[in-house]
Chain A
Amino acid sequence: MSSHYPTTTQQKTTKRMKKILIVDDEPNIVMALEYTFKKNNFEVFIARDGKEALEILEKQLPDVIILDVMMPMVDGYATLEEIKKDDRLSHCKVIFLSAKNKEKDIEKGLELGANLYVVKPFSTKKLVEQVHDLIEN
């Protein structure tokens, strides 16, 4: 898929490309996210559920992980707990992405150690800004 998407050649030589891992089981949402972040010069990795995500994380060290909560097999919360156990991933920023917008859900997400909790439906433009903010700090 990544071959469809253009990249700006200038940015390639000056900085290292930021890596982002998108974990969500909805293909259409993944498609939109993938396009957006590739357009913004990210190297995009995709996992469809927590299990796949953890497998990818064994080899890669993304700067940001966008994590959906409701997934089959291993859900977002469990995945985050696993991530937090791994010292290598300590500097990864994690953004929860969920349609669950109750206070207790947001609190739970943040307590588990997410850096940000974004509620669906979201604005792709805003999400990119939030990701940049997170990485710069």
Chain B
Amino acid sequence: MSSVGLLIILALYMLILFYIAYWAEKRDHSRWTNNPYIYSLSLAVYCTAWTYYGSIGVAANSGLGYLPIYLGPIIIIPTWMIILKKIIRISRVNKISSIADFISLRYGNDRFLGALVTIVCISGIVPYIALQLKSISDTFHIVTKTESSSNIFYDTTTYACIALALFASYYGTRYVDASEKRRGIVTAVAMESILKLVFFLIIGIYVTYFVFDGFDDIYAKASVLENFDKKNSVGGLTGGINWFFLCILSMFAIFLLPRQFHTSIVENNKETHIRTAMWLFPLYLLLFNIFVFPIAWGGNILFQGKGLNSDTYSLLIPQFFNNNALTVLVFLGGFSAAISMIIVSSIALATMLSNNLLIPYGFVGSLQNKSQEKNNKRIIRSRKIGIFLLIILAYAIYRIFILDYSLVSIGLVSFVVIAQLAPAFFGALFWRRGSNKGAITGILVGFGICCYTLLAPYALGITDSTSLFIQEGPWGIELLKPFQLFGLDYLQPIPHALFWSLFFNVMCFAAVSVSFRGNYRERNYAEMFVDIDKYITNHEDAFVWKGTAYVSDIERVLQRFLGEERTKRALSIFNLKYNIDKNVATADARFIKFAENLLTGHIGTASAKILIASVVKEDEISLPEVLRILEESKENIIINKKLTDTSNELQKISEQLKVANEELVKKDIQKDEFLDTVTHELRTPITAIRAASEILHDDEDVPFEVRKQFLQNIISESDRLNRLIDKILDLEKFETGKQKIYLSRNNIALTVEKTLASVKQLINNKKIQVSFEDAGKEIRAFYDEERIIQVIHNLLSNAIKFSSETNGLISIQITENESNVAVTIHNNGKGIKHEDFEAIFDKFYQSRNQNVKKPIGSGLGLAICKQIIEHHKGAIWAENNVKEGATFVFTLPNYNTTENN
């Protein structure tokens, strides 16, 4: 394979990745880019060239020693549901964009701590990037069968590295707000994760089943090689303890590595994605590791005695069999593994560099005075330059320092350095007493020990035991031997360094935190971190701050970074959330925190604090006071919740009361109307009686006929009055359920006839025709005859009153079905309007419009009929099925309604 050819393939590959990143950026919120699988696969950036090549090297040389790095994460992942969720919540709420922000915010939003964490990360990760570049270079040379040139300008990897740096710096800084999601990069990384796994599996299958005849075959051939058994055991107690420490190391790494923090926390869109990651990621790790053993020992078998670099067996084997395509494929897999690590790490580091070193210690002051565009350009530019420089620095380190070490050893050194953040990091989540001074002391001490026991020996190239320094310690002090500090001699260098550095780190962290209490700001954040679940909905409430601040001042600062429109929008959201009048001029603690959060994404927590602090005046506040306020706010949150619940309940009850009240008001009005009409009705006959009586009393000369007439009026009006009172009482009894009806089987046709007879005179007076075809029949129904006579009488009276004057006709029909009997009474003449069909059965029916209309008859008749019929479990209604006139129908049951059917 020629260099140029391989470069072209690489270029094509990069182009495809570029396109995927670009395409993913365009697709907003689509399920393709926002799903849990992309998230989970992006976490596989954990597996770098180290996994791809280095594991094989370790497996070939020291057996199962490659496993702990993957066991650690697998063991700790079950805790993700609690721990990772907590970290994600804290980060989301505070707009944290890196681990430096996280730690520095927790310990009082201190810029020094942020800077320290940044330096630790850079020291740890840049060598790691260097080793990725080394792997790319080495494998490139193997595939193209060229030598690496000592002149960097002739070395192709130089140019590949520059191209990579440009790509990363362009794509990593699309957004100024570092806490915004980078869909493009994440999708590209997820794609690469799939590719590297697939290619690795392909080479694994190739070696196992094509070069050899399966796992058994490899095992059989390998077991005859020397040291096979020794290499493939854990190695006794010492080996076990080494394994233990390596597991711990990788457990920490999965949380603390900047690239892991970035993909698992900063780029997380939804907490529920964690659930998918919790099974997908371990599965990925397991799949990756299936074929490490076969490839390693396959290589050992094939190349025994040749002294080749076992890291690269996966390339050498297919090359040995002249399988060019497969070789290139393997190379591309390793290349993917390397560049995804490089890109994500350099972005994460550059964000830290800019937000925690350059801006807070550099140009934060000048950001205050410039416009939004200038500021954002500057920030982006600083990040771009950061990414570019870091990658170039890593390349330089690779050329100068790491020419000879194995991938694994550099990787592990990197892990140990990062692990120095563990006490402060996990303390941040669980230990309220952890203080700023404690964290700084711990990290400094741990890092110092790291340097002494690892970084210095490696950098100086004196890791082998021939060096005097290693053998006898500095100035001959045996206890200070870098690889056997204080006499601890049964650990390998890496676990050894880890042990001592963490030991002193934790001791100092705990001791200093306990002895020197943090200030109130630290305590505040301690509460907000450890109890994030309590504060999550209104986390601004949990921020304690006292002093004078004006909204307009803070607004101005915000506009320098967010621009006018976004600032306005953010403010209105804030005001809505806390129900604050937008005209309030002073800013409270919540607003301060809110504003700090908005700036954090752009310039980091420390710089945000500095900027906001520069425009407000904070009062001193003692620690006891802070604790008191926090207690209060905790109580407030509980009370608030209770209040909200109670208020919701009250709302419900108040709704119910309103409905009930409306009912009562309606009933009240109805009662008033009823009373009105009743008194009017009662007064009418009284008026006639009184007038007639007065005349008879005052006038002596009333003629005999007239006097008789008047006396007759008095009698009939008195009767009328009496009947009316009866009807009212009747109705009242029906309505209150006090009325008794006596049901029995009767002949309805006969009842109708009886009633007809009683109104015969009225019918004849008006010369009305009556048609009753069912007269004489026997039709049984179940009713109280007296009451039903009352009903029929009422209906007939109405019919008589309203039938046509000239040729009045009343017709009555009876029909039956299985359960009841229906009586229909129709009169020609005046009909009933459709809209009045129901209203006429109301007491003292009044029609819909406002004009006061006189009710039909007394107005009570139909109301009483309705009550009577309904008490019989029947129904009564009006119809208009004939062209002119009115039709009334009522039904009665034909079965015994008192018996239970």
A interface residues with partner B (beta carbon < 8 Å): 4-6, 25-26, 28-29, 31-33, 35-36, 39, 69-72, 75, 77-78, 99-100, 102, 120-125
Contact = CB atoms under 8 A, between A and B. Distances in A.
A28 B852 contact: no
A102 B854 CA distance: 18
B468 to A, nearest CB: 118
A70 B687 contact: no
Contact of A35 (B686, B706, B717): B706
B448 to A, nearest CB: 97
A36 B679 CA distance: 26
Given A31-B709, A35-B706, A120-B687, A100 B692 contact: no
Given A69-B852, A70-B680, A75-B854, A125 B687 contact: no
A124 B688 contact: no
B683 A25 contact: no
22 contacts: A4-B703, A5-B706, A6-B701, A6-B703, A26-B684, A28-B688, A28-B717, A29-B688, A31-B710, A33-B691, A35-B706, A35-B710, A36-B695, A70-B854, A77-B851, A99-B687, A120-B683, A121-B686, A121-B687, A121-B690, A122-B687, A124-B694
A99 B695 contact: no
Contacts of A102: 676
Nearest to A74: B851
Nearest to A102: B676
Most buried by A among B679, B683, B705, B717: B683
Nearest to A25: B854
Contacts of A121: 683, 686-687, 689-691
Contacts of A71: 854
Contacts of B692: 28, 31-32
B399 interface: no
A26 B854 contact: no
A50 B313 CA distance: 116
A29 B694 contact: no
Of listed A28, A32, A77, residue having the most chain B CB within 10 A: A28
Contacts of B709: 31
Given A26-B688, A77-B851, A124-B695, 20 more contacts: A6-B701, A6-B703, A28-B691, A28-B713, A29-B691, A31-B710, A32-B688, A32-B692, A32-B695, A32-B713, A70-B680, A70-B852, A71-B854, A72-B853, A77-B852, A99-B683, A100-B680, A120-B687, A122-B691, A125-B694
B698 interface: yes
B699 interface: yes
Most chain B CB atoms below 10 A, which of A4, A33, A71, A121: A121
Contact of B695 (A35, A75, A78, A120): A35
- For the residues of B in contact with A, the DSSP-based class is helix
A66 B285 CA distance: 106
Contacts of B694: 123-125
A114 B155 CA distance: 116
Interface string B300-342: 0000000000000000000000000000000000000000000
Contacts of A36: 691, 695
Contacts of B702: 35
Contacts of A78: 851
A121 B680 CA distance: 10
Interface of B: 676, 679-680, 683-684, 686-692, 694-695, 698-699, 701-703, 705-706, 709-710, 713, 716-717, 851-854
Nearest to B686: A121
Nearest to A29: B688
Contacts of B710: 31-32, 35
A78 B853 CA distance: 11
Contacts of B686: 120-121
B521 to A, nearest CB: 71
B836 to A, nearest CB: 14
Contacts of A125: 694, 698
| Residue of B676, B695, B716 most packed against chain A (CB within 10 A) | B695
Contacts of B699: 39
A4 B706 CA distance: 8
Given A75-B852, A75-B854, A4 B695 contact: no
B43 to A, nearest CB: 80
Contacts of B851: 75, 77-78
Contacts of A77: 851-852
B848 to A, nearest CB: 15
A99 B698 CA distance: 23
Contacts of A29: 684, 687-688, 691
B691 A100 contact: no
A123 B717 CA distance: 17
B669 to A, nearest CB: 14
Contacts of A25: 854
A75 B687 CA distance: 19
Contacts of B683: 99, 120-121
Given A28-B688, A32-B710, A99 B679 contact: yes
A129 B383 CA distance: 108
Contacts of A6: 701, 703
A118 B841 CA distance: 32
Nearest to A30: B688
A31 B684 contact: no
B719 to A, nearest CB: 12
Contact of B684 (A39, A75, A99): A99
A41 B701 CA distance: 15
B351 to A, nearest CB: 79
Contacts of A122: 687, 690-691
B844 to A, nearest CB: 11
A100 to B, nearest CB: 6
